[in-house]
Amino acid sequence: MRICVIGTGYVGLVTAACLAEVGHYVIGLDVDQDKLNKLTEGVMPIHEPGLDAIVLRNMKSGHLTFTPSYADAMAETGVVFLAVGTPPEEDGSADLSYVLAAARSAATHVRRDCILVTKSTVPVGTGEKIEAVVTEALSGRNDAPKVTVASNPEFLREGQAVDDFLKPNRIIVGIANPTDAEVFRRLYAPFNRNRDRLVIVDRKSAEITKYAANAMLATRISFMNELATFCDATGGDVEAVRKGMGSDPRIGPHFLYAGVGYGGSCFPKDVQALIASGEKHGVNMQLIEAVHEINQMQRQRFVKAILTALEGIEEPRVALWGLAFKPETDDMREAPSRDVIDALLARGARIRAHDPVAMDVCKGLWPNEEHLEFMESLDACTPDADALVMMTEWLCFREPDWNAVESSMRGRLLFDGRNVYDPTTLKARGWQYHGIGRNGIA
Ligand code: NAD
């Protein structure tokens, strides 16, 4: 099939590459010329494991091309994915201006009947808004093709996006026009060989399903973070509690990790957008509001614990391991490390930070910040540090050489934002260990 993907960011580029990988002809369209230049030179604009090989292979075979031109992209396309951003507005609601602008441009240049498919995460009712924009763009055209609007929310996880796209556990498709179902069956047939993963529903339910999934996952995280605070107050160990409760098959072990609060490009914005959408429709999303508030508190609680422990140290030095909001990505959107870095810099601390892939992005976030240095290794962060802060559970941070760390640092403060280290062992080595919900452990 001939497909156009509008927006070549985390979702769009993965979608375009994976659809090309199974034999479709895909044009990726973006307004960001820099991004397109990089792609044309074979340089990935984002870090996503396995993505470069698929992109390069399909560019070479001619299955994947890129363009800034809507006229070129729409010439032969029967399926158009909208994968542009939906960042939060001031009030938390999703900013639909990119989605609507992309839909308008697509409809203006469309040459044949096609389905406009929203992959971006959009609030319920956006399908109708897109339809209105399309109708307006097509009005007055004698040769106007038929354009229908569908919803196909994306559930990929950054860091595992290629695998998630190629081996989805479900493909949710929301349609208003029953004949569109057949197009989606053909489009996704290569991903459905082992079992049918297509779940075809009405468009509004598809739009809601995406927010429901993210809100549920965020709820599990905030639930565990609240329990972690309770464990700290009572002397329990949230990790022991997690294992105990997660072994109940009705609960399951996933997304039960207490930590520094969720971040990234999706959970914070989608939770707030769902709250705003509830307000707009006269529904008070009490539980989701609490999820958001707990998350904000959790992030601040960690920052406060660090600042309190550093009280009295003039110009403290901090080694910071991990910057990205989670391992295997360079995405720094809403990363909890940003709160920690900003608070430490405001306190006058000197930070040496390392992350395996996110440092280039970070250099742009804190340009010319002389108290923040990005180091090429873990070891390079620790000399003379008063405190060590672990923010992202990259595998390479799991088993540090504690002898080397201890001999290079001048202090023994450890803030384990992901509960990856063993408090008992570290306390026995003389560390002042601060985890999340495990501070009562001897
Ligand atoms: P992104 O910011 O990485 O990419 C968006 C791209 O769209 C950018 O390259 C931008 O230049 C381009 N763009 C903006 N306006 C355009 C226009 N009018 N025409 C063409 N291109 C345009 O965003 P992302 O992280 O890929 O997210 C995209 C959408 O997918 C969002 O709604 C997000 O909530 C959703 N989503 C994201 C993830 C994720 O893990 N990042 C997962 C599932 C869903």
Tens digits of residue pLDDT in 381-404: 999 999 999 999 999 999 999 999
Best probe residue, ligand 1, of 11, 72, 207 (max atoms within 8 Å of C-beta): 11
Residue 234 Cα, ligand 1 centroid: separation in angstroms? 43
Cβ(121) – ligand 1 distance below 6 Å: yes
Q: How confident is the model at residue 51 (pLDDT cuts 50, 70, 90)?
A: very high
Confidence check: pLDDT of 442 > 80: no
What is the number of H-type helices and E-type strands within the chain?
16, 14
- Identify the three-state secondary structure at position 316: coil
114 belongs to the catalytic site: no
Answer yes or no: is the C-beta of 10 below 6 A from any ligand 1 atom.
yes
Ligand 1 in reach of 16 Cβ (< 6 A) = no
Beta bridge partners of 373: 352
- Contacts for 427-434 with beta carbons within 8 Å, 24 or more apart? 429/402, 430/406, 432/309, 434/305, 434/306, 434/309
What are 111-135's pLDDT values in tens digits?
Answer: 999 999 999 999 999 999 999 999 9
> How confident is the model over 18-29, as pLDDT tens digits?
999 999 999 999
**pLDDT for 193 beyond 90:** no
- pLDDT digits over 215-256, tens only? 999 999 999 999 999 999 999 999 999 999 999 999 999 999
Residue pointed to by tokens 């995280």? 221
Q: Pairing between strand 198-202 and 25-29?
A: unpaired
What separation in Å is there between the alpha carbon of 12 and the centre of ligand 1?
7
What's the confidence (pLDDT) of residue 440?
Answer: 75
HSE-up of 111 (CA within 13 Å, CB side)?
10
Mutate to test the pocket of ligand 1, among 66, 210, 265 (most ligand atoms within 8 A of CB): 265
Assess contact for 295 and 261: CB atoms under 8 A. Answer: yes
Tokens representing 58? 């399909």
Determine the residue of 4, 14, 30 to mutate for testing ligand 1's pocket, defined as the one with the most ligand atoms within 8 A of the Cβ atom.
30
Nearest to 115 by CA among 65, 166, 151, 86: 151
Predicted local confidence at residue 277, as pLDDT:
98
Q: Report the alpha-carbon distance of residue 207 to residue 213 in Å, rounded.
A: 11
Evaluate if residue 32 carries a pLDDT over 90.
yes
* Residues forming beta bridges with residue 317, ordered by sequence position: 350
| pTM for this prediction | 0.95
- The pLDDT assigned to 194 comes to 86
Find all residues with CB under 8 Å of 156, minimum gap 6, and list them.
Answer: 10, 11, 14, 164, 165
**Mean pLDDT score of the chain:** 96
Catalytic residue among 4, 18, 231, 266: 266
For the CA of 86, the closest atom of ligand 1 is 32
- pLDDT over 90, % of the chain: 97
For residue 301, give every residue at least 6 positions away whose Cβ sits within 8 Å of its Cβ, in sequence order, or none.
229
Distance CA 320, CA 341 (A): 9
Atom of ligand 1 nearest to the CA of 84: 7
Q: Is the CB of residue 42 less than 8 Å from the CB of residue 152?
A: no
Q: How far is the CA of 367 from the centre of ligand 1 (A)?
A: 24
Q: In the predicted model, is pLDDT for residue 363 greater than 90?
A: yes
- Rg (Cα) of the chain, in Å, rounded? 24
301-329 per-position pLDDT tens digit: 999 999 999 999 999 999 999 999 999 99
Residues 238, 10: Cα–Cα separation, whole Å: 33
If you measure from the C-alpha of residue 297 to the centroid of ligand 1, how many angstroms do you get, rounded to a whole number?
28
Ligand 1 mean position, distance from CA 9 (Å): 5
Query: CA dist 154 to 4, 209, 277, 379, 398, Å?
Result: 16, 10, 19, 38, 31
Measured between alpha carbons, how far is 97 from 232 in angstroms, rounded to an integer? Answer: 44
Asked whether 84 lines ligand 1 (CB < 6 A), one says yes
Residue closest via CA to ligand 1's atom 30 equals: 120
Q: Which two tokens stand for residue 51?
A: 């993505």
Q: Which of 419, 388, 441 is nearest to 221 (CA)?
A: 419
Q: Indicate if ligand 1 lies below 6 Å from the C-beta of 12.
A: yes
Residue nearest to atom 37 of ligand 1 (CA): 11
The pLDDT-based confidence of 338 (bands split at 50, 70, 90) is very high
Counting ligand 1 atoms within 8 A of each CB, the residue from 6, 10, 157, 164 with the most, and so the one to mutate, is 10
Contact 416 CB / ligand 1 (< 6 Å): no
For ligand 1, whether the C-beta of 13 sits within 6 Å is no
Distance 41 CA to ligand 1 centre (A): 21
Contacts of 312 (CB under 8 A, 6+ apart): none
Ligand 1 atom closest to residue 266's alpha carbon, by position in its atom list: 34
pLDDT tier at 439 (50, 70, 90 boundaries)? confident
Q: Write down the pLDDT at residue 142.
A: 87
If you measure from the C-alpha of residue 98 to the centroid of ligand 1, how many angstroms do you get, rounded to a whole number?
Answer: 9
